[in-house]
Homo-oligomer: A and B are copies of this chain.
Amino acid sequence: MFTFKPPSDAVPSCELCQQVGGQPVWAQDAWRVIRVNDTDFPAFYRVIYHHHVAEFSALPELQRQRCMQLVGAVERVLVDRLQPTKINLAALGNMVPHLHWHVIARFDWDSHFPQPIWGMRQREVQPAPVSRLACSLGDLDTAMVAALNAA
């Protein structure tokens, strides 16, 4: 948990400059990790750069490495705790061109599998996806913080 404050160079019209973007999980230096509130995909985190940079390759080399260290740490917790069918990683930003990485645990039973979460829904899922996870979201967040602090 952390309290979000827009950086001094925040772009007024950018929602990821102005808002935390989800459930705050962890922040350090120029990076934050939030959990996305998505009923279909409850184990869905985002690694977000504090500053308004659109493309991954526009980051300085050391920040690129740091970025993927954090993405890898989030991925590893999802794999270890939830044994998902697959992890999906993506940095798109067509709507919000402010660098953010989606890290999503996918399951063969989820609403869109094997399609990307942005593709066509394949099925309705009952009971709710969150109840099918191997641990609670609270425990997942706690494991995430520990892994990110060690990354």
Oligomeric state, in copies: 2
By DSSP majority rule, is chain A's interface helix, strand, loop, or mixed? mixed
Cβ of A21 under 8 Å from chain B? no
Give A contacts to B, CB under 8 Å. Answer: 54-57, 64-65, 68, 71-73, 75-76, 79, 85-95, 97, 106, 113-116, 118-119
Answer whether A86 and B94 are a contact pair too, CB < 8 Å, given A56-B71, A71-B56, A115-B118: yes
Residues on B with beta carbons closer than 8 Å to the beta carbon of A56: 68, 71-72, 75, 87, 89
Contact B90 A89 (CB under 8 A): yes
Does B86 lie within 8 Å of A54, measured CB to CB? yes
Residues of B within 8 A of A114 (CB): 94-95
Q: Which of A72, A75, A106 has the most C-beta atoms of chain B within 10 angstroms of its own C-beta?
A: A72
A110 to B94, CA, bound (A): 12
